[in-house]
Structure 1
Amino acid sequence: MTRAPIRIANFSGYLGDRRTAIDEALAGDPVDVLMGDYLAEITLASLSAAYHRDPSRGYVEYFVRQLRPHLATIAERGTKVVTNAGGFHPARLAEVLRSEVAAAGVDLHVAHIEGDNILTDLGRLGSEGHVFDNLDSGAPLSSWTATPIAANAYLGGWGITEALHAGADIVVCGRVTDASLTVGPAAWWHGWSTDDWDALAGAVVAGHIIECGAHAVGGNFSGFLDIPHRTVPGFPIGEIAADGTCVITKHTRDGGAVTADTVTAQLVYEIQGPVYLNPDVTVRLDHVRVDEVGPDRVAVTGAEGAPPPPTTKVALFGRVGFSVVNTVFVTAPHVEEKIALIRDQLVGALPDGVDVDLTPIGTAADDPESQWAATVALRVMATSDDAETLASAHVGAALGSLYLQGIPGYFHDGAAGLHSAPQPRIDYWPGLLDQTALGHRAVFADGNSLPAPVPTTAPVVPQPNHPEPHEAPLSDRVTRVPLGTVVHARSGDKGGNSNVGVWTPDPRAWLWLRRFLTTDEVRRLLPEAKDLDIIRHEFPDLRAIHFVFKGLLGTGGSSNLRIDQVGKAIGEYLRSRQVLIPDDLLGTTEFDSAGAESAATGTPDDTTTEAAR
């Protein structure tokens, strides 16, 4: 008999997310599973440093405080809890939770998932011929100059499924894929087999949408001005049917909204293209559709599945040096010349072996009407391979010494101070490892374990090739306005690559958007990416274009020198760029807006040329 859809409620999208989320979820609408995701790549790097200092920890400790008050309620309702809060030590978190369960006097069974932490196995695996090819460059791990301090394979959802089948109420994971936290419970609930490819693909899509918490409910959304009660957006619920299709919704009592656009924003977030690789299934996103089927209810259909690749990703982290970061302020006029003098004075004051990276933030107004409008923040990052050398540089003191010998209009935030203590820089290596080399299993309180089934695999499906459009947009009248006037965007990171999904909610604008937003145009709009390898794909059913900027984030967010370390703001930067948009898409022939520049053209050929710039 076909079971009703499983209702999976997210309560965390990253390490540091709103800590009242479990309280909110249990006070909201009934659900079958509570799911919490804490491990983004950059937060995994941070947690790896903590684990390296103290191997008895390395898990998300505040999760225990989140869950503690609700153990009796969870037991009474029969709600399952699945999370990757185990971080680098899921076995220890499972022990702590069992102590909490005993203290609460309730009957709950805790299991944890093992097999992802392969740091101590790297030597053996290397001798067996596994080279951990870099996912981006193809280089072998032996070419990496960093010494690994953490190595965690991305596991699929079948270990979670086995744990739930065996009676676990709380399943603690380390580095499973984010979507696995949804796939595992859905496969358990519906009794799927490892080759139910389309159903599994649908569950991966559902998991991808709800894994980032309030993202799907209007958080971090370019259309936030249209989101009701946006001060505290709620957390999403995925209702996953037996065929893998789903409805994304939220708790009725909570703020925010679930719309076709908030769901699309998450669909195009942190993917590499229409082919989405997962240890359990290869997902084709080409024809995924979103349809609003009720207030705060969006149906997601069209995902297609195929056997997964034979390899899975391994996140390796290694220390590559140390950094000290401070922010000082430069006042106009002559901002460029002043920054150049600061650079020269710092370089002369710091010892050999210390490099300095200066990044100005913002631009002073031509005719500032306040002191702050005349001010540019200057982020100063000093780096060194050696902590002692960097500490001896006394970077904060060096910056503090510039007041009387340096530029006019120089200051720092006295309330924040200036700092000299080095912090480790952690490099990231996304390697590949055969799934058959993993010891993926569910482990229970008595020490017994169940191996996760290994699905049938197939060669990696390459991303499709979408030719660049050559037809220029046609319009008699165009107006210069921000691109964001007619499009939404969301950006994120995958290792050293940044991705941006751009889509339009207006079907009339889709033909113009896909013709206009070519790779060459994106290079013009985003000068930071003009020399990079850029991959472009189209998603017609979502009216979306997706770009991957290879190497924009260096080798990863944890080690690059960018202020926007993981590219979260690139989508909004792109939307802020002014371009020529046909007036009929703006709903007016005279677009009356500050900074808008109407452009009437003399001939159709002139229009075509001007609108394509």
Structure 2
Amino acid sequence: MSSASAASPHAVLRIGNCSGFYGDRLAAMREMLEGGPLDVLTGDYLAELTMLILGRDRAKDPTLGYARTFLRQLEDCLGLALDQGVRIVANAGGLNPPGCATAIRDLAERLGLSVKVAVVDGDDLTDRAGELGLGQPLAANAYLGAFGIAAACRADADVVITGRVTDASVVVGPAIAHFDWQPTEFDALAGAMAAGHVIECGTQATGGNFAFFRDVPDLTRPGFPIAEIRRDGSSIITKHPGTGGTVTVDTVASQLLYEIQDARYAGPDAVLRLDSITLEQNGPDRVLLSGAHGEAPPPDLKVSCTRIGGFRNEMSFVLTGLDIEAKAELAQRQVEAALTVRPEELSWTLARTDHDDPDSQARAAATLTVVARDPDEAKVGRAFSGAAVEIALGSYPGCFLTSPPGRGSAYGVYEARYVAQDVPGHTVTLPDGTRQLIPAPTTTSPLEPLHIDTSVTEERHGPTVNVPLGTVAGARSGDKGGNANVGVWVRSDAEFAWLDGVLTVDRLRELLPETRELTVIRTRLPRLRALNFVIEGLLGEGVAYAARFDPQAKALGEWLRARHVDVPTEFVPSTAEESHR
């Protein structure tokens, strides 16, 4: 590879991203390769739900288990990447990295291309799950670090395919190789981890899923992000010129808050102190990310364990007009009476989307949804859905459902478990076929939670106006297994001093009633002018379990922003203040 491997170790390493999940924009790889210079192009294809999907693929066909859309992208772009000397590093190998690598070599042969492919694996612990105390999962995969990827880059691989590595590792690995970082250079490693965390979810760093999206220019097709990484681990977050979206301190801060736990962001190679990061606008669509402090990694690795939890089915009734609560009560009573065999779990949710004096039928309607779960597929199949449908002509006025009766489907359960760093056989197979075992880190430190939440007193700011919190605060939320996180940030020190005093755990529970009986942990991140909340158990047993209608808590932050609070008038734009008087 010409551009990355030949560059000076003091030069910037320019790493782009072209995928934030399995199903992201198919054209993104070509857009990134044609949009401007890059040294490395990364793709993140794996998530908790994806591992379940790939596990079921592999169970049906042992040759599968990898992200097949990645092959479609390479069919279009492999020649272009080789011509430009851009190395591709992706975790698209999923549960079958060797199978993915074989498919890439076969593809290159069909295209008449010569490609050097390296494979990083050893993460798959499924066959050893019993002896390791991990139960009997469909798939058990340890989150590996970045040094196997680094070895593949040093061997001049054109394409590096991995299994389950941490999301940031596809960025950290090429940086390790380029700058020859050693395992104990924790600050540099942590800086690259921060950059990797920012760009891992693609266009979420360039204005996608951004709270203040109306401020983003040309969000029709936002460009994918780039991290220009430096020798000390600091970076510039940017994008190709002329692409949609924007890169600002706010878009980067928002992504830094995505799916985090507390002030320590743990990885297999280092622990990033999120409270150490400084963000600074460095020009149009350029944000300097610096100051990252790193600590020794923990002695254990996280293991993603997914299994089939049982079977589920759901039916939704539409309730229209008057007496919504009474109609819901009648439908629930009738369905439960009609069930000949009751599923193990039956949950009801009434969504009051109806309006007073509605000017359309849709605005007059609410939805009552019943979800059935059981280990026995028959109990949630036609016996359940048929019972819901058969009451239709003898129930509340205007009764209808959103779907016909149908069979149930399997649902997955995710669980995070842990093993010692030296348990997986972290291995890289180099382009020449040589297999190299990557040693576990020799310097580790037990991971201690860092919930920086010193007592604060609400500052007095004079007169207030009752407006949505989102008038002044942004938020980003997501899932971590069965837990949800929501990070809330503001744009000035004065606003943070106010937010810090107002948005306590007790106040969050008031604003989000779903959280009242759950454990909520708050962490202060003053450098980002942000607060992070972890809500334990909100998502049941993970995304595939579908405990709530927003199973990944993607919009939890937007719900919080919609709640009204008393905001000092000095922070509220005049237009917003007038509209809420």
Same fold by TM-score, threshold 0.5 exceeded?
yes
1:97 and 2:97 equivalent? no
Offset at 1:494?
0.8
- Cα deviation 1:227-264 (Å, max 9, x = unaligned): 00011111100110011000000111210000110000
- Picking from 341, 345, 358, the partner of 2:330 is 341
Residue range with higher mean Cα deviation, 318-327 or 293-302: 318-327
Aligned counterparts, 1:59-458, within 5 A: 59-124=66-131, 126=132, 131=133, 141=134, 147-354=136-343, 355-393=345-383, 395=385, 397-413=386-402, 417-444=403-430, 447-458=433-444
CA contact (8 A) 2:155 2:431 kept: no
Hey, what's the Cα distance between the residues in 2 that align with 1:364 and 1:223? 27
Residue range with higher mean Cα deviation, 87-96 or 62-71: 62-71
Structure 1 residues 389 and 520 mapped into 2: Cα distance closer, same or farther (>3 Å)?
A: closer
Hey, what's the Cα distance between the residues in 1 that align with 2:459 and 2:322? 41
Offset at 1:471?
1.6
Residue range with higher mean Cα deviation, 202-211 or 65-74: 65-74
Structure 1 residue aligned with 2:11: 4
Counterpart code for 2:69: Y
CA contact (8 A) 2:541 2:547 kept: no
Offset at 1:394?
5.2
Hey, what's the Cα distance between the residues in 2 that align with 1:190 and 1:470? 42
Offset at 1:285?
1.4
Hey, what's the Cα distance between the residues in 2 that align with 1:311 and 1:332? 56
CA contact (8 A) 2:216 2:245 kept: yes
Residue range with higher mean Cα deviation, 15-24 or 291-300: 15-24
Aligned counterparts, 1:439-478, within 5 A: 439-444=425-430, 447-478=433-464
CA contact (8 A) 1:468 1:518 kept: no
CA contact (8 A) 1:14 1:212 kept: yes
Counterpart code for 1:179: A
SS at match of 2:577: coil
Hey, what's the Cα distance between the residues in 1 that align with 2:53 and 2:369? 21
CA contact (8 A) 2:203 2:222 kept: yes
Structure 2 residue aligned with 1:136: none
CA contact (8 A) 1:496 1:553 kept: yes
Unmatched 5+ stretches in structure 2:
1-7
Structure 1 residues 589 and 3 mapped into 2: Cα distance closer, same or farther (>3 Å)?
A: closer
Counterpart code for 1:68: E
Counterpart code for 1:229: D
CA contact (8 A) 1:324 1:419 kept: no
CA contact (8 A) 2:422 2:439 kept: no
Hey, what's the Cα distance between the residues in 1 that align with 2:443 and 2:331? 57
- Cα deviation 1:578-601 (Å, max 9, x = unaligned): 0001111225599211xx24xxxx
CA contact (8 A) 1:469 1:514 kept: no
- Cα deviation 1:556-579 (Å, max 9, x = unaligned): 122142111011111000000000
Residue range with higher mean Cα deviation, 333-342 or 348-357: 348-357
Hey, what's the Cα distance between the residues in 1 that align with 2:549 and 2:382? 24
CA contact (8 A) 2:118 2:431 kept: yes
1:481 and 2:467 equivalent? yes
CA contact (8 A) 2:167 2:200 kept: yes
Structure 1 residues 587 and 566 mapped into 2: Cα distance closer, same or farther (>3 Å)?
A: closer
- Cα deviation 1:94-144 (Å, max 9, x = unaligned): 0000011111222211111111111001234x3xxxx4xxxxxxxxx56xx
Offset at 1:401?
2.2
Hey, what's the Cα distance between the residues in 2 that align with 1:507 and 1:446? 55
Structure 1 residues 35 and 337 mapped into 2: Cα distance closer, same or farther (>3 Å)?
A: same
Structure 1 residues 590 and 452 mapped into 2: Cα distance closer, same or farther (>3 Å)?
A: closer
Counterpart code for 1:24: E
Offset at 1:426?
1.0
CA contact (8 A) 1:525 1:577 kept: yes
Counterpart code for 1:384: D
Identical aligned residues as a percent: 42
Aligned counterparts, 1:469-548, within 5 A: 469-548=455-534
CA contact (8 A) 1:538 1:545 kept: yes
Offset at 1:482?
0.1
- Picking from 580, 593, 606, the partner of 2:566 is 580
Hey, what's the Cα distance between the residues in 1 that align with 2:123 and 2:173? 16
Hey, what's the Cα distance between the residues in 1 that align with 2:198 and 2:176? 17
CA contact (8 A) 2:341 2:383 kept: no
Hey, what's the Cα distance between the residues in 1 that align with 2:572 and 2:482? 36
Hey, what's the Cα distance between the residues in 2 that align with 1:211 and 1:275? 18
Offset at 1:322?
0.3
Count of aligned pairs between the two proteins:
573
Hey, what's the Cα distance between the residues in 1 that align with 2:573 and 2:407? 55
Offset at 1:226?
0.4
Structure 1 residues 339 and 589 mapped into 2: Cα distance closer, same or farther (>3 Å)?
A: closer
CA contact (8 A) 1:308 1:456 kept: no
Root-mean-square deviation (CA, aligned residues, Å) is 1.7
Offset at 1:327?
3.1
Offset at 1:377?
2.4
Structure 2 residue aligned with 1:608: none
Structure 1 residues 338 and 103 mapped into 2: Cα distance closer, same or farther (>3 Å)?
A: same
Counterpart code for 1:492: G
Offset at 1:45?
2.2
TM-score (norm. length: structure 2)? 0.95
CA contact (8 A) 1:482 1:577 kept: yes
Hey, what's the Cα distance between the residues in 1 that align with 2:368 and 2:576? 40
